Amino acid sequence: MSFFAKLFGLNQKTTAQEDVALKAAQELEPSNAVSFLELIKNRRSIYAIGNNLSQSNDEIEKLIQEAIRHSPSAFNSQSSRAVILFGQSHHKFWDTVLEVLKSIVPAEAVSGTEQKIQSFAAGAGTVLFYEDQNVVKGLQEQFAAYADNFPIWSEHSTAIAQFAVWNILTEQGIGASLQHYNPIIDEKINVLFNIPSEWKLRAQLVFGSIEAKAGEKTFIDDESRFKTFG
């Protein structure tokens, strides 16, 4: 059973005999902490994606919803919102992004821009991550002493939601990369999908089957990043 299946309770009901077998198997599995660490390591930006997934749209939708639902937020604000696009809606989104980009990029950059956007459109779907500004403003009014912090904490909330969704897709063998074409696309996308005006677009996670693996990842040295005391 996968880490996220256990975490979100996505597994089906089992018989008493199956429960005994499951418990025995779990005793042989590494701890959840180790499993989750390996999952984090495996999460990479995958740019070569296709539309050859074994999971149904309904299955993917449920995974995304559960990942966001259980993602923490400051004051349990639950300010994160998501629009999940499949099929023609997914293609319309990237067609619109390309339309906007063509109006602002230099002529010599159009061909490269088209290729990049087409590589995203070749995927199976896109998740649009939003933050509800009405929630943020409401908390600012309710807790005035922290008013300046709530927009920052809202960014924390969406980052956690994005990370959770990205990891659960990784666990399913689905490749993804995070894009940021906001705010230049916001107005047209709001009209296209009838997005509430109080929703603020923060990122776009495009996903699909993995057609080519990510390259090697490099890291800065630990001395530059960490300090430990005690």
Characterize the bridge pairing of strands 125-132 and 80-86.
Answer: antiparallel
Note whether 167 and 149 are within 8 A (CB): no
- pLDDT at residue number 22: 47
Note whether 192 and 121 are within 8 A (CB): no
Q: Is 87 left (phi over 0), alpha (psi -120 to 50) or beta?
A: left
Spatial distance between the Cα atoms of 7 and 1, rounded to a whole number of angstroms: 10
What lies within 8 Å, CB to CB, of 115 at 6+ separation is none
**Domain boundary assignment for the chain:** 1-42, 45-213
CATH of 45-213, one of 3.40.50.2300, 3.40.109.10, 3.40.50.720, 1.10.10.10: 3.40.109.10
Spatial distance between the Cα atoms of 40 and 154, rounded to a whole number of angstroms: 23
Characterize the bridge pairing of strands 175-179 and 125-132.
Answer: unpaired
- pLDDT at residue number 20: 47
DSSP code string of 185-222 = THHHHHHHHT--TTEEEEEEEEEEEESS---------H
Overall residue count recorded for the chain in this entry = 230
- pLDDT at residue number 4: 58
- pLDDT at residue number 96: 99
CA torsion, ordered 18, 20, 21, 27, to nearest 10 deg: 140
- pLDDT at residue number 21: 43
Give the pLDDT of the chain (230 residues) as one tens digit per residue: 565 555 555 554 445 554 544 454 454 355 566 699 999 999 999 999 999 999 999 999 999 999 999 999 999 999 999 999 999 999 999 999 999 999 999 999 999 999 999 999 999 999 999 999 999 999 999 999 999 999 999 999 999 999 999 999 999 999 999 999 999 999 999 999 999 999 999 999 999 999 999 999 999 999 999 999 99
pTM, two decimals, is 0.87
- pLDDT at residue number 133: 99
- pLDDT at residue number 28: 39
